[in-house]
């Protein structure tokens, strides 16, 4: 039984094209040179490339859906009000103009996807992190340059777990093993793959919302830097540990959006009955920090068939309080908590200029979530 009212939405208004200018790299530390990374391109015919761009595409579709655009609009309005810049020319006409900026922002991401890296983020539970200090965009809202503005990095250990599930399915299919044990394992790995797709789609939504704050602030023109005001958060995320370059306390726009879109902030808790490569059990944390288990079908709605997006997420069972989670030793193994960023992005930008870029059609992207297979990408550089 759902604990919250449901609203079913088709992902209407989504562009027919896929993702252009895709570059996925693995960032490896350089021995003896702290903070520096060596970028190694992920082959377009690898599981890491395929699975990650598929999940990124779903994350974009979530934000391109009417509820997604709506919550970005509310976030922008609250930012503009908090910063006190309603009379700036780029915001003067209110909601219609804001929606136009949202259209520009989302379309620009599809035309030239952010720089994407896979790397060690310091903890297996931190799914992703973002940085908008690349310095290649001049702040013009009408001419947004996604790849020049920002980078998103994904947790290498969790990406590998997702790839292991896909590879297991492929091995079973290649072997044409029809034993009952093989069928059971394949079913388990298919479900795991789908849940991983949602996990990284949700992480993408979260990180894009951080980047959106930088976009709306025109990279620091408004709001004293491009941090999120402390009033924009959920469950006090951000306020205790996050400060901008000027020492100001920051909020947490990604968690704010999660709460308004999904019905709470997302945490994947360890399942003690599953193996080490598990996704975890998705819960949403409500305004009282009570964790509610999300139904598997609520996750599959975002992955299977025509991808019916249902907001907020449907939950089941009795909620678990923070105290109960501590007493029972329930541990998060997947969180959208902000990751520390140490990389030298000027170096990474210079390396990006030599990275191969790929365009991927919508049809190819849509073929991956339900049944993993290596996508066909067109190299454009």
Quick: pLDDT tens for 16-45: 579 999 999 998 888 788 777 788 999 999
* C-alpha dist (Å) from residue 59 to 55, 125, 197, 329: 6, 19, 9, 31
In the 8-state DSSP scheme, what is residue 347? H
Q: Distance between alpha carbon 350 and the CA centroid of its chain, in Å?
A: 25
* DSSP annotation string for 171-201: HHHHHT--SHHHHHHHHHHHHHHHHHHHHHH
Q: Examine residue 132 and state whether it is found in any structural domain, yes or no.
A: yes
* C-alpha dist (Å) from residue 3 to 263, 294, 315, 364: 10, 10, 6, 36
| pLDDT above 90: percentage of residues in the chain | 70
pLDDT value of position 306:
84
When divided into structural domains, the chain yields a total of 1
Residue 146 has pLDDT above 90, yes or no: yes
Q: Examine residue 43 and state whether it is found in any structural domain, yes or no.
A: yes
In the 8-state DSSP scheme, what is residue 82? H
Angle at 44 between CA 43 and CA 50, to 5 degrees: 115
Residue 309's H or E segment, with its range, is: strand 309-311
Q: Examine residue 48 and state whether it is found in any structural domain, yes or no.
A: yes
Q: Examine residue 297 and state whether it is found in any structural domain, yes or no.
A: no
Residue 338 has pLDDT above 70, yes or no: no
Q: Examine residue 291 and state whether it is found in any structural domain, yes or no.
A: no
Q: Comparing 142-156, 217-231, 321-335, which segment has the lowest mean pLDDT?
A: 217-231
pLDDT value of position 353:
62
Q: What is the mean pLDDT of residues 315-322?
A: 97
Residue 102 has pLDDT above 70, yes or no: yes
pLDDT value of position 242:
55
Q: What is the mean pLDDT of residues 197-221?
A: 94
Contact of 22 with 359, CB cutoff 8 Å: yes
pLDDT value of position 119:
94
- Domain encompassing residue 163: 16-256+340-379
Residue 10 has pLDDT above 80, yes or no: no
Q: Examine residue 65 and state whether it is found in any structural domain, yes or no.
A: yes
**249 confidence band (pLDDT: 50, 70, 90):** confident
Residue 224 has pLDDT above 60, yes or no: no
Q: What is the mean pLDDT of residues 153-180?
A: 96
> What is the rounded CA–CA span in Å between residue 66 and residue 311?
11
Q: Examine residue 217 and state whether it is found in any structural domain, yes or no.
A: yes
Q: What is the mean pLDDT of residues 193-222?
A: 94
State the average pLDDT for the chain. Answer: 88
pLDDT value of position 228:
86
- Supply the Cα-derived Rg of the chain in whole angstroms: 20
Q: What is the mean pLDDT of residues 233-254?
A: 69
The closest alpha carbon to 158, from 114, 202, 115, belongs to 202
Residue 152 has pLDDT above 90, yes or no: yes
Residue 297 has pLDDT above 80, yes or no: yes
For residue range 107-130, what is the model confidence (pLDDT) as tens digits? Answer: 999 999 999 999 999 888 999 999
Q: Examine residue 60 and state whether it is found in any structural domain, yes or no.
A: yes
Is the N-terminal amide bond of 312 cis, ω within 30° of 0? yes
């Amino acid at each position: 039984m759902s604990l919250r009212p449901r609203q079913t939405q088709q992902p209407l208004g989504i562009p027919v094209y896929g993702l252009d200018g895709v570059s996925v790299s693995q960032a490896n530390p350089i021995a003896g040179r702290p903070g520096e990374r060596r970028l190694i391109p992920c082959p377009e015919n690898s599981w890491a490339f395929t699975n990650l761009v598929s999940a990124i595409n779903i994350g974009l579709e979530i934000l391109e859906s009417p509820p997604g655009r709506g919550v970005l609009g509310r976030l922008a309005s609250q930012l503009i009000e908090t910063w006190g810049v309603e009379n700036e020319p780029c915001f003067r006409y209110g909601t219609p103009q804001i929606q136009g900026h949202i259209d520009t922002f989302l379309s620009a991401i599809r035309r030239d996807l952010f720089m994407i890296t896979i790397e060690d983020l310091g903890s297996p539970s931190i799914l992703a992190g973002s940085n908008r200090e690349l310095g290649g965009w001049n702040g013009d809202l009408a001419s947004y340059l996604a790849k020049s503005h920002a980078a998103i990095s994904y947790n290498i250990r969790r990406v590998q777990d997702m790839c292991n599930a896909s590879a297991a399915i492929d091995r079973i299919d290649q072997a044409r093993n029809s034993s009952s044990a093989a069928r059971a394992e394949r079913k388990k790995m298919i479900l795991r793959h789908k849940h991983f797709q949602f996990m990284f789609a949700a992480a993408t939504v979260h990180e894009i919302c951080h980047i959106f704050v930088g976009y709306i602030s025109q990279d620091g023109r408004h709001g004293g830097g491009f941090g999120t005001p402390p009033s924009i958060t959920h469950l006090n995320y951000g306020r205790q540990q996050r400060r901008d370059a000027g020492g100001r306390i920051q909020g947490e726009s990604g968690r704010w959006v999660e709460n308004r879109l999904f019905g709470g902030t997302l945490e994947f808790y360890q399942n003690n009955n599953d193996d080490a490569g598990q996704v975890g059990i998705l819960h949403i944390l409500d305004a009282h920090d009570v964790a509610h288990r999300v139904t598997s079908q609520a996750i599959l709605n975002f992955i299977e068939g025509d991808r019916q997006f249902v907001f907020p997420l449907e939950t089941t069972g009795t909620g678990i309080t923070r105290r109960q989670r501590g007493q029972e030793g329930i541990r998060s193994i997947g969180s959208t908590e902000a990751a520390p960023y140490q990389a030298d992005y000027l170096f990474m930008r210079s390396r990006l200029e030599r990275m191969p870029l790929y365009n991927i059609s919508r049809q190819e992207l849509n073929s991956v979530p339900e049944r993993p297979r290596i996508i066909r990408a067109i190299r454009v550089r």
